[in-house]
A and B are shown apart, each in its own frame.
Chain A
């Protein structure tokens, strides 16, 4: 592993930890969902760097694609319910 990939890997790991903290702490739900998706997306980039493109595709498709969509879908349903809280 060269120095460049090591530094990039460390940066990606730090960024994903930062995105995870944002996902937990932020008040707005859409921003939290996007931050959670960002964690998966950064993990997918990290997997590509570590020469595991198959795992990266799974992570990108399910972690950051399907799950983010699903959270937004459920969020829309919950808000669409409207008059009960």
Chain B
């Protein structure tokens, strides 16, 4: 009874806080100085049609490198914690009940399409909404679909970690190349800007976003594969 009372009190308090915020809210009629700069200069500076991507990859590229690092740390910690429970001999694993016909056939049809969509999303990150993180997550969901169909399916840890480390390494190399060849760390103008709106345009942005997509996809995939390979608790 007292607990319910406190929960209701807490909810009312939260509601009052949010109501206070909502009542005092007036949407901005025009862009503030930073947003105005991005809106006016992105196309000329970076050649990217999608301003959000230009901000994420170029203007705020260092923050994105930080995000990728955080995700890498998470994947490394998950792998470290779950490696303790990994089965030594894959053949000794108990076969789970077979997946249904619908799931098996459906994933055979969908997995290549999902992979293709993931690649499309990160390769077109500078033109259309989306980018490396979204595309990487889509790639990983294809891997998850395959794992869902056949939990004993073997994915090469070595391949995943090579893709992950190589793309991270090249990402940083491109960033350093920006310092040497262009205006600063992660400057995209180390490559020609090309025609505005073309697939191969906006300098290094498509390259960087492809690398981020591969890296994020490999990190999510490695987490999922480690998760699926842990031993059943006995």
Contact = CB atoms under 8 A, between A and B. Distances in A.
A36 interface: no
A64 to B, nearest CB: 10
Consensus secondary structure, chain A interface: helix
A17 interface: no
Interface string A10-35: 00000000000000000000000000
A58 B134 contact: yes
Contact of A81 (B131, B140, B145, B233): B233
A45 B45 CA distance: 31
Given A66-B144, A70-B144, A81-B232, A61 B224 contact: no
B134 A84 contact: no
Consensus secondary structure, chain B interface: helix
Contacts of A56: 129
Contacts of B53: 54
Interface of B: 27, 50, 52-53, 96-97, 121, 129-131, 133-134, 137-138, 140-141, 144-145, 147-148, 151, 220, 224, 227-228, 232-234
A55 to B, nearest CB: 9
Contacts of A61: 134, 137-138, 141
Contacts of A73: 144, 147-148, 224, 227-228
Interface in A44-82: 53-54, 56-58, 61-62, 65-66, 69-70, 72-74, 76-77, 80-81
Given A69-B144, A81-B233, A54 B137 contact: no
B148 A72 contact: yes
Interface residues of A, number: 20
Contacts of B151: 76-77, 80
